[in-house]
A and B are shown apart, each in its own frame.
Chain A
Amino acid sequence: MTKLRFLLMGFLAVFAIVIIRLFFIQVLFPDAQQDYLSTRKLIPQRGRLFDRNGQPLVMNQLLYRLFFEPKLIKDAEKTTYSLAKLLDLEEASISSKINPSKNWVAVTTGVTKEQKDAIVKLNLPGMGFDDMWNRYYPDASLAAHLSGFVGKNDEGTDVGRSGVEGFYNKDLSGLPGLIRSDVDLQGKPIFLGTQERIDAEDGRDLYLTIDKSVQKIVKDKLVIGMQKYEAKEGCAIIADPNTLEILALSCIPDYDPTTYFDFSNAAFRDTAISDLYEPGSTFKPLVMAAGIEKGVIKPETKFNEDGPVKIGEYTIQTWNNQYEGNITLTRALEKSSNVGMVFVGSKLGKNNLYDAIQMFGFGSLTGIDLEGEVPGYLKKKSDWYPIDYATATFGQGIVVTPIQMIRAFSSIINGGKLMRPYVVKELHGEEIQKVEPQVIRRVISEKTSDAMKKMLLATIENGETKYLKPKGYQIGGKTGTAQIALEGRYDATKTIASFIGFSPIKHPQFIGLVVLKEPKSSQWGSETAAPVFFEIAKELIVYYNIAPEQL
């Protein structure tokens, strides 16, 4: 009995010690910083972006934030000197952070793993690192407007801005997870305590329709062209006219998405989807197609181009004020005759012309999966004056976005289908979600489309300008030169030069639009935007291994 009592007393003594110790820790001297139930948010990895061939466009990288716990720093001078050397920072900026009155001070962000390892090796007390996920762009700003960038919202969390990052932010962000666990004094989990874990769900990887090589070609040629023709801004889009997959899209000036904070908001604006311009003569084939579709004209229909046309108090001339008399409408398109287009407009009628503009999707969103698209502007039918109907036939007095233009033009060469342009081909998460081409409506018949392709081929073959196009290859297209309206008047010295073209003729594999704003060396689209397009087309023909149509 004595032994048992002794054992019992022993147990009671140990139990009392534990209870008293717990009372001291939890009631008398609770340590606010010591939380035994640790709750940690698991940050999901943001989805990556790849091109159509699986080449990486946007990746993730782990960088670090270096912080000080100034109260624990023993040798401030050594710490300052060593860090300044390793991080290439000013000593003064580091020493100013060593403020012993503070518990925690952030020193710098963007510390690489190599730098972190070197700092850890120094074994200096009073500093630590926080993990920070960052976006990494292997090809720098190659596709800046397409990809967009990842900024911070008001709460300081990552959020996609503009382009694909903005449009697919929810898919790319994923879902954060959570760990709740009892931990010991060393921060290690206590197996028998609370253990809850909800895994984070990483964001979905996106495979774009973009081809990185085509993007590179387009951007390089656009930059060279802009420098050559001294243009203020430039934009080029290449798409597959049969599916309206965007193969390349580049607008200059652009920005570096890694250092987006060094750029103004204007730089983030993707002019291909957010800026409006007057398409000028590139609009003519659309009106011509509408006329042929309605059966009111044919490519071989003749009209008498005998001089300027008067609409009320306005006079409409040809671009060079020269007139060829009795010519076909194919010839009118070849020589880009404004007078000829007024004739087509008169045959089509006001209502049909307005309906055709709407039918081709102007004044409404194309639905492209990029953040920041604007629908453009189409005046109400009741607000149109007779001169508006006349000028609209040759693309003046009407505003469009480049993406609307390429969509409408694709429809007249792909057999008549107006489609939704898109840049994301596949979303890879737990399942693979494929995005299929989407036909919105039929706008013209295949017969009209074939006729238009022949007319557009003739426009390049017999137009006023002889282009340096690849020998043996057939390219169709149309130039455009629109004066820029300033304070209600057109300034003849400032133009938007554009060219829209495609190849091959029989089964078009690519369509391209080049828009140059205010080129200085020449105001004409045929002398600025068109050569840029042909430079791109030459490279694409080789890249896609397209066979010549005539040798």
Chain B
Amino acid sequence: MKNMYQDVLIGIFLLALFGNITIFISSMKISSEIHTFEQKTFTLKQENIQLEKEMADSESFVHTKEYKDKWGFHSATKPIYVGELQYALNKK
């Protein structure tokens, strides 16, 4: 009876030890995952901001002007505005 009591006690000890180690290891793993995900989230946020910036750049007048110069748009290629409506009304 006494031996059985000792064995159970040792068993509980070992189980508690094993449980403790398991919890400790899994908490380390979770911590590591939290760290990784936080870093990934931050990287994604950075990428988003970079993409937003590129989108804003592509819609900017500065960008349009670059292409205007590149493709040779100049005053001769300007449309005729309403100041000379006779063109539109065929009254030239």
Interface residues of A (CB under 8 A from B): 1, 3-4, 7, 45, 55-56, 59-62, 113, 136, 138-140, 142, 184, 188-192, 212, 216, 468, 470-473, 538-539, 541-542, 548, 551
- Please indicate the chain B residues that have their CB under 8 angstroms from the CB of A468 in the complex: 83
Knowing A61-B49, A136-B53, A190-B31 are in contact, say whether A538-B83 is a contact too (CB < 8 A): yes
With A56-B56, A62-B49, A138-B59 as known contacts, state yes or no: A190 contacts B35, CB within 8 Å: no
Partner of B49, one of A1, A60, A142, A542: A60
A61 and B53 contacting across the interface, CB-CB below 8 Å? yes
**In whole angstroms, what is the CA distance A189 to B46 when docked?**
22
Q: Are B31 and A189 in contact (CB under 8 A)?
A: yes
The reply to whether B81 and A188 contact each other, CB–CB distance below 8 Å, is no
Please tell me if B50 contacts chain A, counting CB pairs below 8 Å: yes
User: With A and B bound together, what is the CA distance between A189 and B28 in angstroms?
Assistant: 9
Residues of A within 8 A of B59 (CB): 55-56, 138
Known A55-B59, A56-B56, A470-B82; further 9 A-B contacts with Cβ < 8 A:
A3-B10, A56-B52, A59-B56, A61-B50, A138-B53, A142-B61, A188-B32, A192-B23, A470-B81
Which of B27, B61, B81 counts the most chain A CB atoms within 10 A? B61
**Contact across chains for A4 and B35 when beta carbons are under 8 A apart:** no
A-side contacts of B6, CB under 8 Å: 1, 3-4
Residues in A neighbouring B10, C-beta threshold 8 A: 3-4, 7
**Which residues on B are within 8 Å of A, measured CB to CB?**
6, 9-10, 13, 23, 27-28, 30-32, 34-35, 46, 49-50, 52-53, 55-57, 59-63, 81-85, 89
Query: Is A191 within 8 A of B28, CB to CB?
Result: yes
Nearest-CB residue, chain B, relative to A11: B13
Contacts of B61 in A (CB 8 A): 139, 142, 212, 216
User: How far apart sit A542 and B81, CA to CA, in the bound complex (Å)?
Assistant: 7
A538 touches B27 (CB 8 A): no
* Min distance, Cβ A40 to any Cβ of chain B, angstroms: 11
A45 neighbours in B (Cβ, 8 Å): 49
Q: Contact check, A59 vs B35: say whether CB atoms are below 8 A apart.
A: no
Contact assessment for A471 and B83 in the assembled complex, using a CB-CB cutoff below 8 Å: yes
Tell me how far the C-beta of B88 lies from the nearest C-beta in chain A, rounded to whole angstroms. Answer: 10
Are A188 and B31 neighbours in the complex by a CB distance under 8 Å? yes
Within 8 Å by CB of B27, from A1, A192, A212, A472, lies A192
Whole-angstrom CA separation of A506 from B46 in the bound complex: 51
Which residues of A are found within 8 Å of B82, using beta-carbon distances?
470-473, 538, 541-542, 548
Closest A residue, CB atoms, query B24: A192
Least Cβ–Cβ distance between A502 and chain B, in angstroms: 17
Find chain A residues with CB under 8 A from B56 CB.
56, 59, 136, 138
The answer to whether A538 touches B81, judged by C-beta atoms less than 8 angstroms apart, is yes
- By a CB distance below 8 angstroms, the chain B residues around A138 are 53, 56-57, 59-60, 62-63
Cα–Cα distance between A497 and B55 once the two chains are bound (Å):
40
Tell me, rounded to whole Å, the shortest Cβ–Cβ distance linking A53 to chain B: 10
Q: How far is the CB of B54 from chain A (nearest CB, A)?
A: 10
Determine the distance from Cα of A470 to Cα of B84 in the docked complex, in whole angstroms.
Answer: 8
The 6 A-B pairs with the shortest beta carbon distances in the complex, nearest first, are A138-B60, A191-B27, A56-B56, A138-B56, A191-B31, A188-B35
CB distance from B91 to the nearest CB of A (A): 10
Which residues from chain A contact B53 at a C-beta distance below 8 Å? 59, 61, 136, 138
| B contact residues around A216 at 8 Å (CB) | 61
Residues of A within 8 A of B84 (CB): 471
Tell me, rounded to whole Å, the shortest Cβ–Cβ distance linking B39 to chain A.
Answer: 10
Q: How far is the CA of A113 from the CA of B9 in the complex (A)?
A: 60
Tell which of B27, B31, B32, B63 has the most Cβ of chain A within 10 Å: B31
Bound Cα distance A216, B62 (Å): 11
In the bound complex, CA of A102 to CA of B56 (Å): 41
Residue of B nearest to A54 (CB): B59
Q: Which residue of B lies closest to A472 (CB)?
A: B85
Return the contact of A191 from the options B13, B34, B55 (Cβ within 8 A): B34
20 of the cross-chain contacts (CB-CB < 8 Å) are A3-B10, A7-B13, A55-B59, A56-B52, A56-B56, A56-B59, A59-B52, A59-B56, A113-B50, A138-B63, A142-B61, A184-B31, A189-B31, A190-B27, A190-B31, A216-B61, A470-B83, A470-B85, A538-B83, A542-B82
CA distance A541 to B6 in the complex (A): 98
CA distance A355 to B62 in the complex (A): 48
Which residues of chain B are near A548, meaning CB under 8 Å? 82, 85
Q: How far is the CA of A61 from the CA of B52 in the complex (A)?
A: 9
Q: Is the CB of B13 within 8 A of A189?
A: no
Across the two chains, which residue of chain B brings its CB closest to A471?
B85
A189 pairs with B34, CB closer than 8 A: yes
The residue in chain B whose Cβ has the minimal distance to the Cβ of A546 is B82
Instruction: List, in ascending order, chain A residues with CB within 8 A of B60's CB.
Output: 56, 138-139
